[in-house]
Amino acid sequence: MNIIEARNITRMFPVGDGEFYALKHVDIDIPAGKLTILKGRSGSGKTTLMNILSALDAPTEGDVSFDGQVYSEMEDAQKEQLRRKEIGFVFQAVALIPIMNAYENVDFAMRLAEPELTAKEVDERIRETLALVGMEERMRHMPGQMSGGEQQRVAIARAVAHRPKVVFADEPTGALDTESGLRVMQLFRNLIEKEGVTIVMTTHDPNLMELGDVVYELEDGEIIDRQIRE
């Protein structure tokens, strides 16, 4: 089953007097409960595509459906709600709030996504999620007291604590050493197995690409290859 299906996606950016096509007639399926990797040279359109799949940006042409919900038929407020509840985001530059410790960073995001949960439910969920990423021992550490890999694990906990259906991760291992990068990938696989989450990530690292269930390759705004690992 595909949780996201995008059809005929074109994204044009006006540049000076002209037009630049960052994506050209892209069709892509994101299978549920799998790790999908987008690869391709810098400027090939990976981030633009992720932004469109996650409803952060709208295509010039084409449409996206997310678990049966069609973006072009939704109001902005509905899309915002979908992003908040059903999607989690992880970025290369970890954006933890520096004056909050690990626990507080996850807490802050949880309250925004799930305001109806009780304090006890929120607390349980935060502890459970920090344990899942192996940071329960360091939950009172401030970001400045963690390594880059530890910060990224907290950022992943923050992205998944509200149990989104899909996590989008743009170069999540880009700023990490090889070992921390592999640990993040292992964590993604655990999340898929234990939580049934769907993950879509971009990477430049050839060593990580073989860890994807599906790997799409972009070149100049087009998908030129798709590999499926059985």
Site residues for ligand ATP per CB under 6 A:
13, 15, 20, 22, 40, 42-48
**CB count in 10 Å sphere of residue 25:** 14
The residues that bridge with 10 in the sheet, in sequence order, are: 61
| CB-CB contact of 130 with 106 (8 Å) | yes
CB nearer ligand ATP, residue 13 or residue 108: 13
Q: Quick one: how far is CA 11 from the chain centroid?
A: 20
What minimum distance in Å lies between the beta carbon of 13 and ligand ATP? 3
What minimum distance in Å lies between the beta carbon of 45 and ligand ATP? 4
| CB-CB contact of 175 with 93 (8 Å) | yes
What minimum distance in Å lies between the beta carbon of 170 and ligand ATP? 7
CB nearer ligand ATP, residue 213 or residue 217: 217
CB nearer ligand ATP, residue 42 or residue 118: 42
CB nearer ligand ATP, residue 46 or residue 83: 46
What minimum distance in Å lies between the beta carbon of 9 and ligand ATP? 12
Edge to edge, the sheet with strand 2-15 lists 18-31, 2-15, 61-66, 69-70
Give me the phi and psi of 57, to 5 degrees please. Answer: -135, 155
